[in-house]
Amino acid sequence: MDVSTAISQRCSVRAYKATDVEEDKLRKILEAGRLSPSASNRQDWKFIVVRNKETRKKLAKAAFGQSFIGEAPVVIVACGTEPKAMLACGQPAHTIDVSIAFAYMILQAYELGLGTCWIGAFSEEEAKKALNIPQQIRVVGMTPLGYPDQPPTQKSRKPLNQIVCYEKYE
Ligand SMILES: Cc1cc2nc3c(=O)[nH]c(=O)nc-3n(C[C@H](O)[C@H](O)[C@H](O)COP(=O)(O)O)c2cc1C
């Protein structure tokens, strides 16, 4: 599969089969995160792979009861390890670095036939408690990972002419 196909066909998956995720596929997904770019090549991330059922349920609870998170055989939680680092443009480096890595991982998962759903609605405090994450580390996002148990959904996006302008902001 080429990158454009993955970009155009991937969709968020909110129903998963119980079928386990093979170790070699999981490793390839983690490798996609490892190889992604980061500001100053800081690689200020840690990805927590959760297979334990009880912990997955705790994460679903931390995500305000989005139960499909706990139903997937794997949940990956993406953390920023250097939250004080700022980019010269004023943006925090870790949210950008971790988000790029997570986007790479999500596309890699799609190529391997696996579904994901970026989860941003969660209580960071509860997620940290469930995973023993130290205070200074930030949780940027999480995703369930598993074989989809739903048909692909249709993409709904703004047309390019609403989101692109040329030469100056319009
Ligand atoms: C930063 C971010 C946070 C998101 N949080 C959630 C979430 O908590 N729960 C959820 O079901 N989907 C969540 N999504 C998925 C979006 O709803 C989804 O990507 C969007 O509707 C576009 O659909 P698609 O992924 O199928 O193309 C999130 C996506 C992003 C990028």
Label each residue of 54-106 as H, E or C. Answer: HHHHHHHHHCCCCCHHHHCCEEEEEEECCCCCECCCCCEHHHHHHHHHHHHHH
Ligand 1 pocket, Cβ-based, cut-off 6 angstroms: 11-12, 14, 66, 117-121, 153, 155
Q: 13 alpha carbon to ligand 1 midpoint, in Å?
A: 9
> Do 27 and 103 contact (CB within 8 A), yes or no?
no
Q: 167 alpha carbon to ligand 1 midpoint, in Å?
A: 31
Lookup: tokens for 75:
């949940």
User: Ligand 1 test: best mutation among 12, 67, 77, most atoms within 8 Å of CB?
Assistant: 12
What Cα–Cα distance (Å) separates residue 26 from each residue in 9, 106, 152? 20, 11, 21
| pLDDT at site 99 | 98
| pLDDT at site 139 | 98
Q: What is the pLDDT of residues 17-52, one digit of tens each?
A: 999 999 999 999 999 999 999 999 999 999 999 999
User: Ligand 1 test: best mutation among 11, 110, 118, most atoms within 8 Å of CB?
Assistant: 118
pTM score above 0.95 = yes
| pLDDT at site 52 | 98
Q: How far apart are CA 133 and CA 126, in angstroms?
A: 10
Strand 138-146 with 45-50, pairing = unpaired
User: Ligand 1 test: best mutation among 10, 68, 106, 119, most atoms within 8 Å of CB?
Assistant: 119
